[in-house]
Amino acid sequence: MRRHLFGVIAFWIFVAGTACDMPMPPNACGGPLAAGTDADCRIVFDGRAREFFIHVPDSYTGSPLPLILDLHGTGSSREGQRDLSGWIELSEREGLIIVHPEALPGITGRTQWNAGDCCEEGQQADDEGFLREAVRITRAAVEVDSAQIFATGLSTGGVMSHFLGCRAADVFSAIAPISFQLSSTLTCEPARPLSMIEFHAPTDRQRPANGHVVTLPSGARTRFPSAFDSAARWGEINGCAAQPRTSFASGGSRCVEFPDCRRARVMFCAIDGAGQVLGGHVLYDNNDSLDLAEISWSFFESIP
């Protein structure tokens, strides 16, 4: 019920194109951070005011923990993603540090990430730099396992996850994009093997799983391949075998893995979202009650 409610809220955000504007507590991102802290971080980066949350689980003892960067979609916010994705609940069970950053408004006032040749809001902020800085500040405030820093996100948060995988593999060791593919034209040459698990609903109406074209404010058009071909490209990048094998099936959902990669793993999951918000675009609500955060974390902690 909670997931369904937040799915409806997310749908309203996508349609209305406005981000939440909630009162924020005073800045609290200075370290060291204690167990059970929810820090509200406000910084100036590249001449712009930027914000992100840091969640430190109750189980934190000072020993290094994995860090998950969880990115919202267009028109949403750090609050919206925090309440929607399930990572905060998983953090308490598994002992994870969760960072929820917020994108800046684009040309129509909707928040959106700058992921290179995407997307419609024409965002020009240095979001790669900002997200690197958010990770750096977090690592200065709480002990983080530098070998276990991961990125995930929904919709344009998903395409930003792809972008970070291509451009910031020196920081991130794996990504879990949801409901958005890797651009066909983005140069993607990670500095090291970069593991990836991608989730998409075959019925997605917002970012169709069989491929779609995004028109930028300049009039330029960026083609995004099918979700499967997007994952297959990550397989090529990591030297995996071309033919995937089924690794998981539940109800109408199925995950496949590209085998024999070079010190990495690459998976693609087609999740049954038929009849859900935007055909399953807000894929945390799905017909097989799959917890995407839980699946992603299981994938992350298995990386060679």
Q: For each successive 10 residues of the chain (304 residues), what is the average pLDDT?
A: 42 37 51 93 96 97 98 97 98 98 97 95 96 97 97 98 98 98 96 97 98 94 97 98 96 98 97 97 98 98 92
pLDDT score at 243 = 95
pLDDT score at 23 = 39
Whole-angstrom distance, CA of residue 76 vs CA of residue 88: 17
> 31 and 141 in contact (C-beta within 8 Å)?
yes
pLDDT score at 31 = 78
pLDDT score at 27 = 57
Distances from the Cα of 15 to the Cα of 60, 76, 188, 218, 285, angstroms: 39, 11, 31, 23, 18
DSSP 26: P
Closest by alpha carbon to 211, among 196, 197, 200?
200
> 172 and 164 in contact (C-beta within 8 Å)?
yes
> 46 and 127 in contact (C-beta within 8 Å)?
no
Q: Please give the structure tokens belonging to residue 302.
A: 């298995």
With respect to CATH, is domain 2-7+25-300 assigned 3.40.50.2300?
Answer: no
> 160 and 183 in contact (C-beta within 8 Å)?
no
pLDDT score at 24 = 38
pLDDT score at 30 = 75
pLDDT score at 2 = 41
Cis peptide before 32 (omega within 30 of 0): yes
pLDDT score at 137 = 96
Residue listed under structure tokens 């651009």: 183
